[in-house]
Each structure stands twice: as structure tokens, then as C-alpha cells.
Structure 1
Amino acid sequence: MEQYLLVIDMQNDFVDGSLGTKKAAAIVPDVVKKIEEFDGTILYTLDTHMENYLTTQEGKNLPVVHCVKDSKGWELNKSVKEAVEHKHGKRFLKETFGSKELAEYLVEQNKEHEIEKITVIGLCTDICVISNALLIKAFLPEVPVHVDALCCAGVTEESHQRALDAMKMCQILID
């Protein structure tokens, strides 16, 4: 049986860039350690926007340019990048909060080899982590989905906790 670690959007803009927070920067060592010690398959996402971001639905609601493809802010945090590359992580670009492509990939992997457990970590708990965890739970309802709260950070500590509580109500296990 297979195990997967999903590393969500550990990009410069979310760690210490245009949407970065002290809490996001503080989880980087724990995220790197989790990746390095994980015995299974690593998948990671990159929030990916184009130059026209501010004209998109998301850009109108969150008017802060971030994660523009091929910019420094779009790149993974250096320490996280080294860790996922060392473990041969597979990359998924996503234009929305949740990655349908990632969920569909996991469904196909589960058909080939039953997935024992999926663990989700990264940024931001209250936007992209919750979106991907719920999407994966919808696509794979019988696979246990875990979120490691110590390897996640939200926009605020309050919204981080609300997201964890919401995921818990949807039978996502909070570690």
C-alpha cells in the first residue's frame, strides 16, 4: 500500500514574499524535516498565475499579485525545493485553490496500488490546504486524508484554526 505526502504551495510569495507571514516562514524547517523523513511518494503544488492576475476572479477578490509563473515569488522556498528534489517529488501547477489534476492523479494511482494514507502540509491552511484536502477527500472518500497542523500556516492563526476545525468535521484527520 502506498503513502503520499502533498506539499501545498510552499512558494516564496507565501513564505516571505508578497503574501508571506512570520508563521509561514516559521514552519519551513518542520516542512523540510517532514519531507526528508517521509517514506513514500512526494507530490507538490505550485500556485501559478499569469501577468493578468488582477483581472481574474481571484485577483479581483485578492488584489495582491503573487506567484506569477517564472517569477522568484512563484518558485519553491529554497530549502523546500532542495528537499522535494532530493526525494524526486512530482510537481503540479495549479491556477485555482484546489488542483483537480492532483486529485485525478491520485485516483489513478489508487487504481494501480491502493493508497494507504495521504498527508497534506503547506500553505495556506485556510485557502489552498483546505481546498486540496477536501477535493482529495471527495475524489477518494475511503482513503484516510491527514493534515499535519504543525506543517501548515494560515493567513491568520484564527483562520488556520477554523480551517483545521472545518477539515476535522469533514473526516480529515488532523495530526
Structure 2
Amino acid sequence: MGGLLIVVDYQRDFVDGSLGFPGAEALDGPIAARIAQRRREGWDVAFTLDTHGPGYLCTGEGRHLPVPHCIRDTEGWALYGETGASRLPGDPVFEKETFPSLALAQWLQGRAYGEVELCGMVSNICVLSNTVMVKAALPDAEIRVDARLTASADPALHEKALDVLEGIHVTVTGREG
């Protein structure tokens, strides 16, 4: 059984755009390095893209988070930096209108991945919710999140998200302390 690395929403708007925050850009090199490492090990790499249209503010998410972001075909929608350059044409990409990707979970069902690792943005929202989807689709896989390859604008919520992940039997590595 092979492995899969899922890069969640490492897009410009979450790094240096409308929902960006200090330190988010520092994940770029390490995420790109993890992509290269996993490819050398024979793993597959998939990406999720937070994707909204011009009517975002009228959506359920837009009413709760009234900050337009990741609008399809804008600069903010693009993958960021070295991470974006690491995407290959054959890599699966899942555009999603909300935090988790149901299409990703459906694609995973019945696949023989023994290990899945997730990284990207934002730890307490999209990384957390997509990890739950992976757990539902592949309940017997070893699922990991490296705390050094994800972040949140709110460090306390970041730590709480990592605690929740551990509580649902996800292996969290790279935690300080």
C-alpha cells in the first residue's frame, strides 16, 4: 500500500493575501521539501484548492466570514510559491467551496493508501476538516499531520486543532514542547 500527501489550500490568499498572516510564508519551503521527499519515496501528491465565485459574500461561509478570498482565477486563488511550482500536471486537484472536500473523500474510498499525510492551511479549519474526511474514507490508514507544515492565524486554535487531531487517532508530529 502506497502513501499520499495532501497539500491543503496553500494558496496566496491564505499566505500573503486577504486571509494571510505573519509566518504563513515560512511554511512554503518546508512544504515544497516534503512534496519532493514524498515523491522520491513513491508517494502520490494531491492538492485541495479553496475555490469561490464572485457571489461568495452571499454564501453561508461568506455570511460568517465576510472576507472575499480564493476567488477562482484571481492571484489569491493560486497556489503559493515553491509549493505551487511543485504541483505536477497529473496531480489530483480538488476544488472545494467550503472547508472539507467531499470529492476528495469520495476519490479516496476504495483506494489502497496505507499512509496519508496532510499539510497546508489553515490548521484549525481546512486541515482539520479534510483530515476528518480522510479518516472517514480510509479508516485503517495511518494518518499524519506534521505541526511544522500547518499553521493558523490563532496559535491557541492551532494547538487545540492538533489536540483534536490526536484525539481522533491522527499522528501529530513536530509539536514543540
TM-score (norm 2): 0.92
Question: Counterpart of 2:92 in structure 1: which amino acid?
Answer: K
CA distance in 2, matches of 1:150, 1:77: 17
How do residues 61-140 of structure 1 correspond to structure 2 at under 5 angstroms?
A: 61-85=64-88, 88-108=90-110, 110=111, 114-140=112-138
Structure 1: 5+ residue stretches without partners: none
Q: Which residue of 2 aligns with 1:5?
A: 5
CA distance in 2, matches of 1:119, 1:73: 25
The alignment of Structure 1 onto Structure 2 pairs a total of residues equal to 170
Q: Give the CA RMSD over aligned residues.
A: 1.1
Q: Which residue of 1 aligns with 2:26?
A: 26
1:60 maps to 2:63: yes
How do residues 156-175 of structure 1 correspond to structure 2 at under 5 angstroms?
A: 156-175=154-173
TM-score (norm 1): 0.93
Report how far residue 23 of structure 1 moved. 2.1
* 3-state SS, counterpart of residue 22 of structure 1: coil
CA distance in 2, matches of 1:133, 1:85: 22
4+ runs of 1 displaced by more than 2 Å? none
Question: Counterpart of 2:2 in structure 1: which amino acid?
Answer: E
Aligned-residue sequence identity (percent) comes to 36
Deviations 1:139-174 (A, max 9, x none): 221111111111001121111111000110011110
Structure 2: 5+ residue stretches without partners: none
1:36 maps to 2:36: yes
Question: Counterpart of 2:143 in structure 1: which amino acid?
Answer: V
* 3-state SS, counterpart of residue 153 of structure 2: coil
Report how far residue 136 of structure 1 moved. 1.1
Deviations 1:11-50 (A, max 9, x none): 0000110001112111111111111111200000100000
Deviations 1:41-77 (A, max 9, x none): 0000100000010111100101100000000000101
CA distance in 1, matches of 2:114, 2:168: 18
CA distance in 1, matches of 2:21, 2:65: 16
Question: Counterpart of 1:57 in structure 2: which amino acid?
Answer: G
* 3-state SS, counterpart of residue 49 of structure 1: coil
CA distance in 2, matches of 1:155, 1:57: 22
CA distance in 2, matches of 1:130, 1:167: 7
* 3-state SS, counterpart of residue 151 of structure 1: strand
